[in-house]
Amino acid sequence: MDSRAPFGDHSGMELKVRSLSDEPALRTRFSDFHRQAWPRFLSEGDGTGGLFHRIYSDFADFQFGVWDETGALVAVGNTIPLICDGSAADLPPDITEILERGLAVKQEGRKATALSALAAIVDESQRARGLSTKVIEAMAALARQHGLKTLIAPVRPSLKQLYPLTPMERYITWARADGTHFDPWLRVHQRMGAEILRVAPKAMVITDTVARWEEWTGLRFLETGNYVVPGAFQPIKIDVRRNTGRYEEANVWMRHPVKG
């Protein structure tokens, strides 16, 4: 994939999209972007069955960077092709199964039917300029290019972490006066014509020792209970006697139109 300005022009930026296959040096940059984007318990904990790194070795065509006209890498996108008919019933329950399904399709030499988004990350210094739409447009272009008729996305609403006591099912119903989603990241998808299919209540589950959770969060957990921690969509459950902390993250499955 190598394209210049394949998008609309509302930001006035000329952008270039290139895949990891085209730019192998991009591999380390993905790690930088992911480290910057997520709370430590997500980037260092294993919520994806130890499989996430396989997207770089097995699906390099489906990982891409976005460069601006100055040559700066301003965003990255991760996706994986899999078999899914795009109905709510056929969606994988979690990120691990998205990866497993994609890997199985490749191993069995079958033909994928859908593209699943895995992550869209805009560099911190480049946010709030409309770049996120370009990343999703690049994903849709990738789906078209590979003849995949469905684009699905397990979306992490960006402001959910500020409302950890509200169940995701309620949060996604919150709307602004103009009827659009309250959450800005859900709004980006909505504006692009995507629809919500369902909530995936355990899209990622991270379980580790109490000490590890203390290290990740900078908090102390001296007794068993539920704790609100920065960056988490809902409280984490600490069990001091069993020496475990467990976090279940809900994501929101959305389906995008793949036109053309």
Question: Can you give the binding site for ligand COA, defined by CB under 6 A?
Answer: 37, 119-122, 127-133, 156, 158, 184-185, 187-188
Q: Which is nearer to ligand COA, 1 or 192 (CB)?
A: 192
Reading the block at residue 125, the tokens are 């210094």
Closest CB to ligand COA among residues 118, 205: 118
Least distance CB 128 / ligand COA (angstroms): 4
CB nearer to ligand COA: pick between 84 and 119: 119
184-191 helix and 131-145 helix, angle to the nearest 10 degrees: 50
Under a CB-based contact definition with an 8 Å cutoff, are residues 86 and 255 in contact? Answer: yes
Report the residue number, 54 or 182, with the smaller CB distance to ligand COA: 182
Q: What is the spatial distance between Cα 90 and Cα 92, in angstroms, rounded to a whole number?
A: 7
CB of 187 to ligand COA, least distance (A): 5
Q: Are residues 52 and 94 in contact, defined by beta-carbon separation less than 8 angstroms?
A: no
Q: Answer for the pair 65, 29: CB distance below 8 angstroms, yes or no.
A: yes
State the sign of the Cα–Cα–Cα–Cα dihedral 51, 53, 136, 230.
positive
Shortest spacing between CB 110 and ligand COA, in angstroms:
27
Nearer to ligand COA, 158 or 207 (CB): 158
CB of 143 to ligand COA, least distance (A): 17
Q: How far is the CB of 45 from ligand COA (least distance, A)?
A: 16
Report residue 130 as tokens: 């409309």
